[in-house]
Amino acid sequence: MTGMRRFMGGVLAVGLLGACEPTDDGGGGTTGDVLFTEGFAFVREDDRNVFVVDDDGDPNSPQRLTTRGGAYWPAVSRDGRSIVFVQRTGSATSLQTVPTSGGTTATLFSSGDAACTRGCTNFRTPTFSPDGRSVVFVFSPTGSSVTSLGRVNTDGSGFQELTPNNTISYGAPTFVPNGSAVIAPAGSSLRQLNQIARVPLDGSTPFSSSLGNEALAVENRVAVSPNGSQVAFDARLSSGSIRIFVASLSATGVGNGQRVTDLTAASVQETWPSWTRSNQVGFLFSDASGSDPGIYRAGVGSGTTSSVSLSVPSAAEPSYGPL
């Protein structure tokens, strides 16, 4: 990849959607002609717009897809043609989509929609189903101290709360390859997601596995590998640092996580994992000392990885696709 830097030894030395309602403010999207077939979608912290960069493009010159700001947690569809993200406007949130080729943003579902009988607020971390027909996302029910998972069709219809409870919080979901369930971190609150849950979409009861080993809690995301045999997740350690782990995944649960990178400084944070190949994960690398975060890739093998590469500088909340 153009502009890629490589670090050896495992240590980094760095400090379809046509039925959606179009937005009506005239400032949400861009013109077309964006060249994107496979790569990262992300936001930048300084302006909170959605960007993409193709694997064959220049990572130092990503292409911007939105212009109004307020964008969070973009995710690429399985066919690579669309991105879903959360739009924040004051205290309101909505699910929005934008073509990866550039164009007009569209509103998929908004907080306060009457279809959400418990009240839907504070949307987070949406993801497309493998067939592109629905989106699963995190929301806060009105008056509840826990977060829940919701699903809505990509034409804005058919909202369903997947985890109607008042005791367990759920974090960023990811689909298993056949679309029958989502895998998501779970726990007593978003700051204590100390389990990984399998949430079937047929209405049957979710079940959870502990993280195991040195991982105390998932910080942001669990990501299922392309073949469904593994998950990658970002775990908080007792030192306060965050590292990327990989664990086996089966129909009966998740195995103990194995740390796949070895960064020594406690201030270094590795987070927001996203599979980029069957044996490689992308993740966000940042340092609490204030350095600009960037997207890196790490090979996944036995033990710690042998090489880590910078893919995209100046990025946040990355998602990779299609796979």
Secondary structure (3-state) at 321: strand
pLDDT digits (tens, 9 = 90+) for 79-89: 999 999 999 99
Please say if the pLDDT value at position 187 is more than 50.
yes
With respect to CATH, is domain 5-15+36-321 assigned 3.40.50.1980? Answer: no
Confidence of residue 12 (pLDDT cuts 50, 70, 90): very low
**Mean pLDDT, rounded, for 282-291:** 81
Lowest-pLDDT range of 23-27, 38-42, 215-219, 306-310: 23-27
Residue type at position 66: T
Tokens of 196: 């990984």
C-alpha dist (Å) from residue 1 to 35, 59, 85, 275, 294: 16, 9, 26, 17, 15
φ, ψ for residue 18, nearest 5 deg: -70, -20
SS3 per residue for 114-183: CCCCCCEEEEEEEEECCCCCEEEEEEEECCCCCCEEEEEECCCCCCEECCCCCCCEECECEECCCCCEEE
pLDDT of res. 16: 39
Confidence of residue 302 (pLDDT cuts 50, 70, 90): low
**Mean pLDDT, rounded, for 24-47:** 83
Whole-prediction pTM value? 0.90
pLDDT digits (tens, 9 = 90+) for 140-177: 999 899 999 999 999 999 999 999 988 999 999 999 99
3-state helix, strand, coil in the chain (%, to 5): 0, 50, 50
Please say if the pLDDT value at position 192 is more than 60.
yes
Please say if the pLDDT value at position 219 is more than 50.
yes
Please say if the pLDDT value at position 305 is more than 80.
no
Confidence of residue 264 (pLDDT cuts 50, 70, 90): low
Confidence of residue 13 (pLDDT cuts 50, 70, 90): very low
C-alpha dist (Å) from residue 283 to 1, 267, 310: 16, 16, 10
**Mean pLDDT, rounded, for 200-223:** 94
Is residue 199 within 8 A of residue 206, CB to CB? The reply is yes
